[in-house]
């Protein structure tokens, strides 16, 4: 399971990307699901969209052929921003809390190495357009 975004990274992102407005951070609570092929990923996407307890409030399709991979340092996935309306979410007062769900392909995830992730971090921190 993915861990929540750490305090230092959340602060860094709020300062760097959102004019120091932490209310714009939407990926503090996050999870990733990886699929063997695009057909399975699409089935997973449809399952999320049909779930009566889930509201998709935003989406990015970085798998689309027209996506400029240079704008995401070559990273490819489908990212959903969603809210949950379940009895537990209501009890905890979290029905308006936005979570990030990344849907990716196993083959692409297996290409990531310590070195490539380091290059991504450098791009994110210094070279992002």
Is the Cβ–Cβ distance between 50 and 80 less than 8 Å?
Answer: no
User: pTM of the entire structure?
Assistant: 0.78
Does residue 23 surpass a pLDDT of 70? yes
What is the pLDDT averaged over residues 95-105?
Answer: 92
pLDDT bin (cut points 50, 70, 90) of residue 129 is: very low
pLDDT above 50: residue 28:
yes
Assess contact for 76 and 69: CB atoms under 8 A: yes
In this predicted model, what pLDDT tens digit does every residue of 54-95 receive, in sequence order?
999 999 999 988 887 776 666 789 999 999 999 999 999 989
How would residue 50 be classed by pLDDT, with cut points 50, 70 and 90?
Answer: very high
pLDDT at 11: 79
- What are the chain's domains? 27-122 (3.30.460.10)
Answer yes or no: is pLDDT of 48 > 60: yes
Predicted confidence at residue 79, as pLDDT, reads 93
pLDDT at 3: 75
Residue 88 and residue 78 in contact, taking contact as beta carbons nearer than 8 Å:
no
Mean pLDDT taken over the chain: 85
| Residue 1: per-residue pLDDT | 64
C-alpha angle 29/37/35, rounded to 5°?
Answer: 30
Query: Within its chain, how far is the Cα of 17 from the centroid?
Result: 15
**The sheet that has 30-35: what strands, in order across it?**
30-35, 99-105, 78-84, 54-61
């Amino acid at each position: 399971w993915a861990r929540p975004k750490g305090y230092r990274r959340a602060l860094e992102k709020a300062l760097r990307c959102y004019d120091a407005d932490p209310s714009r951070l939407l990926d503090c609570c996050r999870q990733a699901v990886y699929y063997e092929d695009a057909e399975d990923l699409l089935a997973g996407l449809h399952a999320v969209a049909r779930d009566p307890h889930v509201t998709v409030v935003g989406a990015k399709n970085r798998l689309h052929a027209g996506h400029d991979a240079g704008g995401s340092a070559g990273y490819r996935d489908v990212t959903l921003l969603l809210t949950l309306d379940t009895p537990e979410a209501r009890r905890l007062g979290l029905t308006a809390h936005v979570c990030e769900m990344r849907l990716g392909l196993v083959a692409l995830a297996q290409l990531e190495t310590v070195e490539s992730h380091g290059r991504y971090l450098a791009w994110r921190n210094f070279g992002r357009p």
